[in-house]
Structure 1
Amino acid sequence: MGPAMRRQAILKYLTQLDAAISARKMAEKFDVSRQVIVGDIALLRAEGHDVLSTPRGYILPAKADEKSFYEGKVVCLHTPQQAEEELQIIVDNGGRVMDVSVEHPYYGLLTGKLQIATRYDIKEFLNHVKKHEAKMLSSLTDGVHTHVIHCPDQDTFTRIKNELHQHGILYI
C-alpha cells in the first residue's frame, strides 16, 4: 500500500472508532513505524482533516449533528495536586473535558486536547503525565487555565461550575 492509500485507510479507520487510538497501535495495524503514522496524521491535517491528538491517541471529533450537547467554558485555578479532583468533579457530574487552554505571554493561546469523559480517562491522562515527567499546561500560568466542557445540558454545566466553586477550584 502506498503512502496516499495508507492515509486514506487511516482516515477511514479513524471514522470507525469510538475511542482514541495511539500512533503505536496504528503503526502495528498498518505495518509501518510510529513516526510514519505521525507524519501521515500531519499530512491528513494539512489536507484539512480534523484529526485530534489526545493523551490516549488520535480521534476524529464527534460531529455536532450526531449528538447534541451544551458547551461551556470554565476558568480554573489550582495546584497540580488538585488536577485529579478538578477532573473528577467535571466527569462525575456528567461533563466531558474537551481541552485545556492557557494564555502564554509570548505564544498567545495554547490549547491541549484532552477528551476526558471518565475516571479511567483521568487515570490514563495522569499516568501519562507522570510517566513522561511532563508538567501541566497550567504550570505556564501559575495554575490559571480554561476548559471547554461538553455536557448534556446547561443545568449539568451549572452543577459542575457550582461544585468547582465549592472546592475552591473555579477562578472568579
Structure 2
Amino acid sequence: MKEPTKILGDERRAYILKSLQESSEPITGGELSAITNVSRQVIVGDITLLKAKNEPIIATSQGYLYMHASRPSAAERIIAVSHGPERTEEELLLLVDHGVTVKDVKIEHPVYGDLTASIMVSNRNEVKQFMEKIRATNASYLSELTDGIHLHTISAPSEKALDEAEETLRKEKLLIDLE
C-alpha cells in the first residue's frame, strides 16, 4: 500500500490559502493536517507564514478563517464587562441571542499590554462549541488575568440590536457602565 504523499512547502501553503479563501466556515488545523499529510504543528507554522505575508487569517475556537474584505456590519462597538469564569457562557448566549457577533476578547496585561484573542461566535451552536473547547482543553479565560474585567468587540446588523444587548448585560450586572 502506497503512503499518502505530503504536500510540500509553498504548494501546501497555496493549498491552505485557497481552501480558507473558498470556505465560508472555519477549517481546523487537524483537517488541514489530514488533507496535506503533515503534522498540525506544520500547519500552525504555515498559518504563521501566511499571516506574515499579510493574509487576513484569524484563528477562532472553531478553526482558521479567512477574513474577506466585505461590507462591514451596520454597527460595531467595544463593551466593557466584568464577571467570573462561571458566567462566560451566560454572557455569550445573552449577546448572540440579540443577533450580536462577539468578535474578540481583550484585556490589559500589566507586562504585555493589550492582549486580544479572537472568539467569533454568532449563534448558540458556536457558543456551545467554544465552551466545549475551553472545557476539553482546560484552558483559562484571558479575563482570569484581570479579575474578570475584559472588553469585547461586538457587531450586529443595527445599533438597536447592540443597544438591546447592552441593556440585557446591564440588567444581568455583567456590563461595566462607563458613564
Find the residue that maps to 1:19 and give its secondary structure: coil
For structure 1, which segment, 120-129 or 106-115, has the greater mean C-alpha deviation from structure 2 after superposition?
Answer: 120-129
**Structure 1 gap ranges (5+):** none
Between the aligned partners of 2:22 and 2:93, the Cα distance in structure 1 is: 28
- Partner residue in 2 for 1:129: 134
- Partner residue in 2 for 1:39: 45
Between the aligned partners of 2:68 and 2:89, the Cα distance in structure 1 is: 25
Q: Is the 8 A contact 2:21 2:68 kept in 1?
A: no
Question: Could you give the per-residue CA deviations for residues 21-72 of structure 1, whole angstroms, max 9, x where no partner exists?
Answer: 110011111222111111110110111111101111100124233x543111
Find the residue that maps to 1:134 and give its secondary structure: coil
Between the aligned partners of 2:74 and 2:18, the Cα distance in structure 1 is: 25
**Structure 2 gap ranges (5+):** 1-6
RMSD across aligned positions (CA): 1.1
Structure 1 runs (4+) greater than 2 angstroms displaced: 62-65
- Partner residue in 1 for 2:59: 53
- Partner residue in 2 for 1:19: 25
For normalisation by structure 2, the TM-score amounts to 0.92
Q: Structure 2 counterpart of 1:116, which letter?
A: V
Between the aligned partners of 1:68 and 1:112, the Cα distance in structure 2 is: 20
Between the aligned partners of 1:69 and 1:32, the Cα distance in structure 2 is: 40
For structure 1, which segment, 138-147 or 23-32, has the greater mean C-alpha deviation from structure 2 after superposition?
Answer: 23-32
1:148 aligns with 2:153: yes
Matches within 5 A, 1:21-170: 21-65=27-71, 68-170=73-175
| Paired residue total | 171
Between the aligned partners of 1:16 and 1:73, the Cα distance in structure 2 is: 30
Choose 1 or 2 for highest CA Rg. 2
Question: Could you give the per-residue CA deviations for residues 94-146 of structure 1, whole angstroms, max 9, x where no partner exists?
Answer: 00000000001111000110001111111111111111111111000000000
Q: Structure 1 counterpart of 2:153, which letter?
A: V
Between the aligned partners of 1:2 and 1:139, the Cα distance in structure 2 is: 40
For normalisation by structure 1, the TM-score amounts to 0.95
Between the aligned partners of 2:130 and 2:98, the Cα distance in structure 1 is: 19
| Identical counterparts, % of pairs | 35
